[in-house]
């Protein structure tokens, strides 16, 4: 959520940032409501001062009338608060200055490519390869079950939004799309101690998203599914150091890919592909020889104070002595299903066997 004061003082910047993300929002309406709220607040303060003076004269009737006026104005103010909040919660986070401007994923910037792509004269993607191994049956659309030694792994990955969440109507609960949602709320309405920052968490969870295999894309296999398992990293950080933390999360993701010796590339998302809450975002895409293309396996986002403002998560700034909003950041450690695809395709052998990455050999018996 964006601070309405910041919007008022930086209207053009906010308008340009929202436009660069591809959203259309009426900024003038929230500023008009905020102006009315300011007038009400001034009237309430004046009446409170008047009530204080009246208390000295002990005029009960006048005091009663002032109290009634204040109550009415405070109710009007509450209504305006709700209207302003309703608009603010629909505003996307603003992109940081270093984010490249672009309309969609086509204009994302490739920062680097790492690793040597394997060359096969027998490339197979995961479907025929898995049939050869007789380990999995992956033909079903969106939901899948692993067999053999993979029973406990249900995986995949895709982008999501509010409309893509599963709602349990009977219980009025939602199935999470990522453990980020649960971790972010762990410190809701808290003031964190500066000396304890940063707070870094890792969460493993099953994730549920509605839009899977849609529009004819990835309709078979485990690349894009409704239910999958994912390990997520999450950080609560001081604002002045959040950019460094973002680079740290990216470096952790790269170390995991390098340990598996899977070729990959790093992209910086352009403004039009940042999504709703990210101020800056990187993606890692693994090379899939069976598809002869890179596919997303990781992402990491700096959401600045966008989440913490809504969740009311602050820290005591020792320099200013004020309680200020922390920055929140998140990053994928592993989206299990997609990493299985990357391993199977990059480590396949001519006879249909899949080699185990060296770093995993000690875990396979």
Residues flagged as binding site for L-serine: 178, 209, 232, 330
Distance of CA 317 to the CA centre of its chain: 25
Q: Position of tokens 């980020």?
A: 180
CA distance 190 to 174: 24
Burial 145-164 (b: 16+ CB within 10 A, else e): ebeeeeeeebbbbbebeeeb
Annotated binding residues for ATP, written as ranges, equal: 209-211, 225-228, 296-299
Q: Which of 242, 248, 281 shows the shortest CA–CA distance to 111?
A: 281
Annotated binding residues, written as ranges, equal: 178, 209-211, 225-228, 232, 296-299, 330
Torsion-angle region of 216 (φ positive above 0: left; ψ -120 to 50: alpha; else: beta):
left
For 325, which DSSP code? E
| Pairing assessment for the beta strands 280-288 and 293-302 based on DSSP bridges | antiparallel
Q: What is the CA radius of gyration of the chain?
A: 26
């Amino acid at each position: 959520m964006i601070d309405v004061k910041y919007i008022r003082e930086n209207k053009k910047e906010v308008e340009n940032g929202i436009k660069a993300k591809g959203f259309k929002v009426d900024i003038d309406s929230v500023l008009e409501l905020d102006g009315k709220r300011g007038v009400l607040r001034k009237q309430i303060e004046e009446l409170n001062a008047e009530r204080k003076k009246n208390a000295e004269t002990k005029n009960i009737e006048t005091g009663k009338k002032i109290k009634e006026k204040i109550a009415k104005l405070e109710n009007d103010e509450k209504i305006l608060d709700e209207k302003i909040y309703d608009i603010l919660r629909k505003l996307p986070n603003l992109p940081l200055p270093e984010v490249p401007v672009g309309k969609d994923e086509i204009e994302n910037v490739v920062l680097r490519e790492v690793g040597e792509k394997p060359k096969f004269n027998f490339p197979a993607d995961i479907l025929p390869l898995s049939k050869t191994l007789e380990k999995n049956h992956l033909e079903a659309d969106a939901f899948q079950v692993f067999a053999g030694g993979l029973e406990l792994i249900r995986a995949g990955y895709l982008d999501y939004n509010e409309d893509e969440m599963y709602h349990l109507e009977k219980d009025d609960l939602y199935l999470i799309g990522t453990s980020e949602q649960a971790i972010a709320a762990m410190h809701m309405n808290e003031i964190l101690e500066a000396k304890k920052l940063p707070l870094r968490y890792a969460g493993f969870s099953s994730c549920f998203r509605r839009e899977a295999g849609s529009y004819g894309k990835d309709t078979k296999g485990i690349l894009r599914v409704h239910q999958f398992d994912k390990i997520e990293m999450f950080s609560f950080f001081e604002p002045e150091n959040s950019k460094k933390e973002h680079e740290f999360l990216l470096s952790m993701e790269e170390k995991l890919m390098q340990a598996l010796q899977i070729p990959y590339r790093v992209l910086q998302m352009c403004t039009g592909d940042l999504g709703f809450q990210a101020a800056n975002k990187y993606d890692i895409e693994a090379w899939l020889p069976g598809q002869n293309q890179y596919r997303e396996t990781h992402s990491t986002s700096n959401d600045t104070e966008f989440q913490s403002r809504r969740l009311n998560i602050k820290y005591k700034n020792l320099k200013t002595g004020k309680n200020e909003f922390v920055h929140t950041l998140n990053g994928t450690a592993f989206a299990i299903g997609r990493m299985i695809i990357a391993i199977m395709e990059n480590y396949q052998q001519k006879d249909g066997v899949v080699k185990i990455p060296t770093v995993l050999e000690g875990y396979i018996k």
